[in-house]
Amino acid sequence: MYSYRRYVRYLIILITIISLSANLFFAIQLRLLGKKVSNSNIVISTRVESAIRDTMHSIKEIKETGAKEEMIDLQRSIQQLVLIFNSWVDLNQTEEKPNEALMRGLQGLETLRSAVVHNLNNQFSSRNENLTDYDIVFLDKIYEQLDRFSAVYNNIQRRVREIKDPDNGDGGLGQWANNIEEVSRLYRHSRIPNEHPAYMPIDSILTRVDKMLPELGNFSGSREVTENIQIRDGVHYYEINYYIEDDLVYSIWIDAVNGFLRQFEDYTADVKDTLVSKDEASEIAKKFINRFESYEQMIDGVSAITDENTKNTIYAFQFIPTLDDITMISDIVKVNVSSHGGKVIKYSNNFNGTVVPMSEVVVSLEDVEQKHSEQLLDMKYNGIAVVRSFYTHYRPVATYSYQSTKKEDIRKLYFDIVTGNQVYEAYSIYEPVSYMSTEENYQ
């Protein structure tokens, strides 16, 4: 009995020693691991700072030389910066406890990367590898923002744990991300690159809405106007939404620069069961257009689509204004009309009243076809067209237009008559309208 108790006592002592040894071992390993993480953090932190400086240096170099090699180097450095900062963020958060402030900063860097690698590089390539004045201004703004990012990063790298709590602030990282997104958005989407044009006050906008769409004057629900002006493909607009309780029934975009209607959507259900023919739908669409802008000549196109919810046929019309045989692609108007009752479901256009630019032809049609021979295989010349795009800085530009001769290919290409470079590409599902009065005209 005595020997059994002694055996148990020794066993307990042995287990205790093993447990203490194991705890000591794991404590040492944890400390070593923490030290390694800390060392890794220091190393990556240094690499982040170095990557910021490299990117700023690349900006200086491309501004001075304008060389293709420097553009490639700038893209490489900005992508490297995003990669390294991403690694640093991963070191300072877990899947269970993500650091929202750091993720917001990473989003800002991703926006910058996209603007440089895609937008700036595409603009550079489309202009025979030359920087424009707008590109230079954009690069200056990026440089300034990277300088601020360096200061913000130095401010937060030693207090990462603190900024996990929103009450402690984010060290300016969120504001920096907002700023870089605004810089990128103005370069990519503003009709005056890098700037906000002068905007109409919201009171004037709402007055114009009441005049353009008087049927909404006695709307019984609520009307909400977005606080910030939206920017998309050269269009700066106020978004105005109409609700009945929580249901969106109408959505309107009004150009914040000139007050024209840019988009109208009607989400209400069809109240009439009367079938409307394609001819009748076309007339309804044209009358709706004439409420806002009158065109003497237009090229009509239509596509019949099916509403996924109601299974009703919708006539999707595209109207292209023409001036002296020049197609105004910039001023395309699209109108969708329901075949059940003839309600206008959607109206949209980006620009109107565009004047044909007085451009002196520098590059001949033959030169364009020779330069872009591979792109223009199986495509036919379709006349002069005026376009606005990111590559024209949303200014009207006269172009040589081409469309595919293959039925399954719906591409259209546009080449600047001054530079010979491609400035726009479109895909059209619209077929020319052939009017008829037979039953076939009903879908």
Please give the full DSSP string across 17-38, using - where no structure is assigned. Answer: HHHHHHHHHHHHHHHHHHHHHH
The overall average pLDDT reported for the chain is 86
Q: How far apart are CA 193 and CA 191, in angstroms?
A: 6
pLDDT, greater one: 44 or 402: 402
Least confidently predicted of 159-173, 191-205, 381-395: 159-173
356 has pLDDT over 60: yes
More confident residue, 140 or 428: 140
Do 331 and 354 touch, CB atoms closer than 8 A? yes
* Residue 21 binned pLDDT confidence (cut-offs 50, 70, 90): low
Name residue 386's beta-bridge partners.
328, 398
Q: What is the mean pLDDT of residues 344-365?
A: 90
> Are 44 and 84 contacting, i.e. CB atoms less than 8 angstroms apart?
yes
Tokens linked to 233 = 């493909």
Looking only at the bridges linking them, the beta strands covering 344-348 and 261-266 are antiparallel
Q: Which residues contact 417 (CB under 8 A, 6 or more apart)?
A: 359, 361, 362, 363, 384, 398, 399, 400
- Model confidence band, residue 441 (pLDDT cutoffs 50, 70, 90): very low
pTM across the whole model: 0.82
Q: What's residue 256's pLDDT?
A: 97
d(CA 207, CA 250): 17
Quote the DSSP letter at residue 103. H
CB 320 within 8 A of CB 329: yes
Sequence-distant (≥ 6) Cβ neighbours of residue 59 within 8 angstroms? 74, 139, 142, 143, 146
Q: What stretches of 295-383 show up as alpha helix (H) in DSSP?
A: 365-371
**pLDDT at residue 259 greater than cutoff 90:** yes
- The angle, 0 to 180 degrees and rounded to 10, between the axes of the packed helices 100-114 and 68-91 is 170
CA distance 70 to 131: 12
pLDDT bucket at 5, cuts 50 / 70 / 90: low
pLDDT band at 36 (very low <50, low <70, confident <90, very high): very low
Percent of the chain with pLDDT over 90: 61
Range ranked top by mean pLDDT from 5-19, 164-178, 264-278: 264-278
Tens of pLDDT, residue by residue over 88-118, are: 888 887 777 788 888 999 999 999 999 999 9
* Exposed / middle / buried, residue 348 (Cβ in 10 Å: 0-12, 13-18, 19+): middle
| C-alpha span between 414 and 428 (Å, rounded) | 13
* Confidence at residue 35, expressed as pLDDT on a 0 to 100 scale: 47
Distance CA 254, CA 216 (A): 15
Cα 161 from Cα 39, distance rounded (Å): 17
301-349 per-position pLDDT tens digit:
888 877 777 678 899 999 999 998 899 999 999 999 999 889 999 999 9
Phi, psi of 250 (to 5 degrees): -140, 145
**Domains in the chain: boundaries:** 2-189, 202-219+262-353+436-441, 365-432
Nearest to 202 by CA among 224, 186, 220, 233: 224
